[in-house]
Structures are given as structure tokens and as C-alpha cells.
Amino acid sequence: MCAALIGTGLGAGVQAEAAQPAAKPLNPNKILNIAHRGASGHAPEHTLSAYELGQRMKGDYIEIDLQMTKDGRLIAMHDETLDRTTNGTGPVKDHTLKEIKKLDAGSWFNKKYPESAKDEYAGLEVPTLEEVIQKFGRNARYYIETKSPEVYPKMEERLLQILKKYKLTGPSVHSNKVIIQSFSPESLKIIHRLDPGIPLVQLLWYDGPAAVSDDELEAYQSYSVGLGMNFDQIDRAYVQKVRKHGLLVHPYTVNEKEDMQRLLDWGVTGMFTNFPDRLHKVLNENK
């Protein structure tokens, strides 16, 4: 995740009321273990290997960051550029899916994390959103982020088309099957207008100690069921204030057991981690 909506302000248009109320909140008593970019502490992020490992390590959700190719395909990648996690260069939007499929999305991990390197990670492909869904099916749960939606016109419509195609949304689907998050309130409001039944989470970034007003929380409630923020700037009072407004709290990215336990003590309802196996152990210890 990266900052796009700063927590000290709501951003343009957030305070406008949505036409319909936000989706029914998820069960706040179920603490969600969200495998951040898959089990990305153990395998190359946003690859099928990382997602599969996240499932085996008891992650409740596969977290997928979306970028869009030159030919309009949604792929799983955090950055707007190919440089960090592949052997390619330049913006995703300037490359076709065919071009991106030729890239190596795993060798960088072996070089950066030799202690976790595996031969099979070399040469891994960048998966499309559809390939991820085809691999894990309707039995999995997906926590999807629209990244840089201002760069990708109609990203939201394309995402909803895919979710509908694979029967992951609709009145007959349990509301916790898919969660969509974004730093962009505009992106979330587009999705909310098109399908108000999908739970949405507003992402925030705080450069200093987190603070949020009642008015801001009421505005977020009009289209979202929860907030996600960088965990290192929040405290117990912040968590409890958000929870009192009926919103879920899903901080990111929490990798140490001591931090996981402290956040649970404060009352968060889930968290993102690169190590879902660690969080699974902490949650079991709290039962």
C-alpha cells in the first residue's frame, strides 16, 4: 500500500452523501487475517505462489492490488511501474498484457531475500485478476484494491464486470466474499453507485499521530464499512472512536507479533500482514 489520501483530510468530495447507504458491515467479531499481496514475506508478492502460500498459512483473504494494461486488462501488481517486481521497465499502462506476460516476476525476490529464495520463484508470471479468481475460485475471499484509479479510466467498471462474470457479487453471494478498498474516495463511490452491496474500505495514510473527526467518520460511513490505515500512527483511542461509529478497522502492514497483539488489545477487527502464519498463531493464542 502507499499513500494517496492523507488521513489529515478527507480529500475532494468525500463529505458528499452517497445515494444509498453503505453495504451491511461484516461480522466485527471475526478478526480478519489478510494476506498482504499474498504471503509476501515468504514469496514474491502478487504471484500465484504468494497467494497460494497465503491460503495455506490460514489467511482469510487474498489481497490483490490492481493495475491496468495498455489493452485494458486488470493485473495483480502494487506499483504503477514494472521496474521493482519484474525485469521490465516503465509504466504498466504503456504495456500490453502479452508484453507483461513475458516478464519475470519472481527472480527479484530471490535476490532481495536469499534466505527465502526458491528456484521455482524464478520466472513467475504476473497474473491477471481473472487468473487469480480462476485459480482459487468462489471458495476463496478476495480483498481487492483499485490502485491509482485516476490513471486507469473505467477501472471500476471492468473490475465489477469480472466479479459478476465469476459470480462473486450479487444478491445470492455472501457479503464477505469480496471487499474492495482504495485510497481514492472517488473510486469507491463509483463502485458504491454501481453495486451498493459490496463492502468498501477507505484507505488512509497518516504522516503523524492519527486523528479523525466525527464528521469525517459519518462521511466515510455513507459509502464504506471500514477504514484501513498505517498501523504505526494509531492508538487505542483512535481505534475505539472508529469502532464506536460502527466502522471496521483494518490497519496495514503488521508483521511483528508484538504489534499484532497490541492492535488486537485495542480492538481492531483485522489487519494486513506479509506473514499470515504469524498472525494465525497470535489469533490462536487469543482464543
Catalytic residues: 36, 78
CA–CA distances in Å: residue 48 to residues 62, 63, 131, 138: 10, 12, 9, 16
Contact 245, 262 (CB under 8 A): no
Contact 45, 54 (CB under 8 A): no
- The grid coordinates listed for 238 are 483512535
Find how far residue 157's CA is from the centre of its chain.
Answer: 18
Contacts of residue 24, defined as CB under 8 A and 6 or more positions apart, other chains included, come to 175, 199, 225
- Cβ neighbours, 10 Å, residue 59: 28
Strand segments, DSSP code E, in 61-161 are 61-68, 74-76, 142-146
